[in-house]
Chains A and B, each alone.
Chain A
Amino acid sequence: GQLYRNKLTSVVYFLRTVLAVAGEDFAIVASDTRLSEGYSIHSRDSPKCYKLTDTTVIGCSGFHGDCLTLTKIIDARLKMYKHSNNKTMTSGAIAAMLSTILYSRRFFPYYVYNIIGGLDEEGKGAVYSFDPVGSYQRDTYKAGGSASAMLQPLLDNQIGFKNMEGVEHVPLTKDKAVQLVKDVFISAAERDVYTGDALRVCVITKEGINEETIPLRKD
């Protein structure tokens, strides 16, 4: 029989929400841990932040099979780079490499929305957001996945101070940023069916990567 059909109807996709915030000397990548398909929940404990290096974490949302394969390919390429060049890839280099990996599948895409969070060479926080075929840019904050359209305006307002008048632009501290991420995911879990169960937050500083799990609504 014919193995491939003309449409991607045989692909099932598992939605979730991923978020990343970059600060002066830290970066945060957070994702919920619910793995759902249509009306069912496959798992309540499936976090989507993958640690790539000591200073970089990637969050992937979209089709779970492609997320797994993509992270395996990135890990292999990181190892190849380390063995050829005797140094670890920087966040900017990983972002540029991921762009070409995704573009090599331009005509048969990986259905994954990626967000990379990490520290750049100067130790400043960096967030890189991607579309499924590899276009990317560096941001200060980005939300991706099923609740992205709900969370991005909230982040624009709270971190970017957009659409407000007469507010003092205070730079974001690490503790305030972590608290904001928790609040933002609690809001997402209230209004998005695919977001909930628990929140895994990875905070990246020059001391290393610190992971924290916070419970969210389970309904």
Chain B
Amino acid sequence: MALFEVSGYKKYCELREQILPAGLTHLVDRTNHYSFGTKTQEFAVPPGVDASGFLKSCNHDGGVCIEMNHGTTTLAFKFKHGVIVAVDSRASAGNYLDSTDANKVIEINAYLLGTMSGSAADCQYWERLLAKECRLYRLRNNHRISVAAASKLLSNMMVGYRGMGLSMGSMICGWDKQGPGLYYVDDNGTRLSGRMFSTGCGNSYAYGVVDSGYREDMTVEEAYELGRRGITHATHRDAYSGGVVNMYHMREDGWIKVCQDDVSELIHQYRKGMF
């Protein structure tokens, strides 16, 4: 804050290092649980316990239940005319459906999209941070960040918090100087470039459908239909996916949002005579 700098006020954590001998600072009660962290983002950790174990133990009987939004199907594939990104829109917290119209695609800029699967808070936070870094890159270097660099930034963020219980499976899609780009990044720090990925608990169903219908020289309409089918069939068989299909098409001049179709209507079209 401006007033801090003008008045020469020192924060408690800076003073503490001067007051206490080195090596004993961890024994003193720290105020960082209540710090505002406006300049640099700080994470509060339960003292004395392993962070991921603490949260896991919270979800057992006898402890309070902190359910976080999970469960998804997302898919993306490259073809002749760009990249198709299709996601479902169901957000579940344990057995309760928290939202049927969650937005699982973050529009980082006009040429970059990120999908979200796993824990909703983790995905939203880290991809929002990625969007900030991409914007800063653009301002500092006067050209847009490449898809490879953006996905690398995200995977480095994940590696920094490895083992702490984050849960994020994301696909970074974009169009840069090298053409269409598609990378899969997950919470272990895995970063893979490829032609087709699907994440989330419904991914096996989506893989089956898209693998059987994929051709490199598909027309744009055929690609849209394939994306729609992949998500629809996955939501039909996976309990934790559902809602609507949100589909984006990444083209040379940026992405467009193709459709937002309800899966329960689509499944009746695709499986005529089955019901």
A and B co-occur in one complex: yes
- When C-beta atoms are compared, the residue in chain B nearest to A162 turns out to be B100
Is A137 within 8 A of B41, CB to CB? no
- When C-beta atoms are compared, the residue in chain A nearest to B166 turns out to be A106
Is A133 within 8 A of B68, CB to CB? yes
Point out the residues of chain A lying under 8 angstroms from B43, CB to CB.
104-107
Query: Interface size bucket, B side?
Result: 35 or more
A171 contacts the other chain (Cβ, under 8 Å)? no
Our pick among B42, B63, B67, B96 for the contact of A104 (Cβ within 8 Å) is: B42
Is A135 within 8 A of B55, CB to CB? no
Our pick among A8, A11, A69, A133 for the contact of B121 (Cβ within 8 Å) is: A133
Which one, A16-24, A29-37, A76-84, is touching chain B?
Answer: A76-84
Distance in Å: Cβ of B172 to nearest Cβ of chain A: 19
Our pick among B42, B58, B91, B102 for the contact of A7 (Cβ within 8 Å) is: B58
Is A80 within 8 A of B38, CB to CB? yes
Is A4 within 8 A of B120, CB to CB? no
Is A107 within 8 A of B68, CB to CB? no
Known: A107-B164, A131-B98, A132-B66. A137 touches B51 (CB 8 A): no
Known: A7-B57, A84-B2. A131 touches B44 (CB 8 A): no
Our pick among A84, A104, A132, A133 for the contact of B37 (Cβ within 8 Å) is: A104
A214 contacts the other chain (Cβ, under 8 Å)? no
Is A108 within 8 A of B69, CB to CB? no
Is A108 within 8 A of B125, CB to CB? no
B93 contacts the other chain (Cβ, under 8 Å)? yes
B190 contacts the other chain (Cβ, under 8 Å)? no
Cα-based distance from A105 to B121 in the complex (angstroms): 11
Cα-based distance from A104 to B63 in the complex (angstroms): 22
Is B46 within 8 A of A107, CB to CB? yes
Distance in Å: Cβ of B265 to nearest Cβ of chain A: 13
B13 contacts the other chain (Cβ, under 8 Å)? no
Is A109 within 8 A of B36, CB to CB? no
Chain A 98-139 near chain B by CB (<8 Å), digits 1 or 0: 011011111111010000000000000000010111111101
Chain B 64-83 near chain A by CB (<8 Å), digits 1 or 0: 10111100000000000000
Distance in Å: Cβ of A27 to nearest Cβ of chain B: 18
Known: A84-B1, A108-B46. A7 touches B62 (CB 8 A): yes
A167 contacts the other chain (Cβ, under 8 Å)? no
Cα-based distance from A108 to B53 in the complex (angstroms): 11
B273 contacts the other chain (Cβ, under 8 Å)? no
Cα-based distance from A109 to B123 in the complex (angstroms): 16
Cα-based distance from A132 to B68 in the complex (angstroms): 7
B252 contacts the other chain (Cβ, under 8 Å)? no
Point out the residues of chain B lying under 8 angstroms from A137, CB to CB.
99, 101-103
B8 contacts the other chain (Cβ, under 8 Å)? no
Q: Which of B21-57 contact A (CB under 8 A)?
A: 33-34, 36-38, 41-49, 51-55, 57
Is B96 within 8 A of A149, CB to CB? yes
Chain B 115-127 near chain A by CB (<8 Å), digits 1 or 0: 0000111111100
Is B64 within 8 A of A131, CB to CB? no
Cα-based distance from A111 to B58 in the complex (angstroms): 11
Our pick among B33, B38, B52, B120 for the contact of A131 (Cβ within 8 Å) is: B120
A73 contacts the other chain (Cβ, under 8 Å)? yes
A63 contacts the other chain (Cβ, under 8 Å)? yes
Is B46 within 8 A of A4, CB to CB? yes
B179 contacts the other chain (Cβ, under 8 Å)? no
- When C-beta atoms are compared, the residue in chain A nearest to B64 turns out to be A8
B165 contacts the other chain (Cβ, under 8 Å)? yes
Cα-based distance from A100 to B34 in the complex (angstroms): 14
Our pick among B2, B34, B57, B67 for the contact of A6 (Cβ within 8 Å) is: B57
Chain A 64-100 near chain B by CB (<8 Å), digits 1 or 0: 0000010001001100100010000000000000011
Distance in Å: Cβ of B272 to nearest Cβ of chain A: 20
Distance in Å: Cβ of A35 to nearest Cβ of chain B: 17
Point out the residues of chain B lying under 8 angstroms from A103, CB to CB.
121, 125
Q: Which 6 A-B pairs have the closest CB atoms?
A: A135-B120, A135-B121, A107-B51, A133-B121, A108-B46, A7-B63
A-B contact pairs, 15 of them (CB 8 A): A4-B48, A6-B49, A8-B58, A73-B34, A102-B121, A103-B125, A106-B121, A107-B45, A107-B51, A131-B67, A133-B122, A134-B121, A134-B124, A135-B68, A148-B96
A-side interface residues toward B, CB under 8 Å?
2, 4, 6-9, 11, 13, 63, 69, 73, 76-77, 80, 84, 99-100, 102-109, 111, 129, 131-137, 139, 148-149
Task: Known pairs A100-B41, A105-B44; list 7 more (Cβ under 8 Å).
Answer: A73-B34, A73-B36, A107-B46, A107-B165, A108-B45, A111-B64, A135-B120
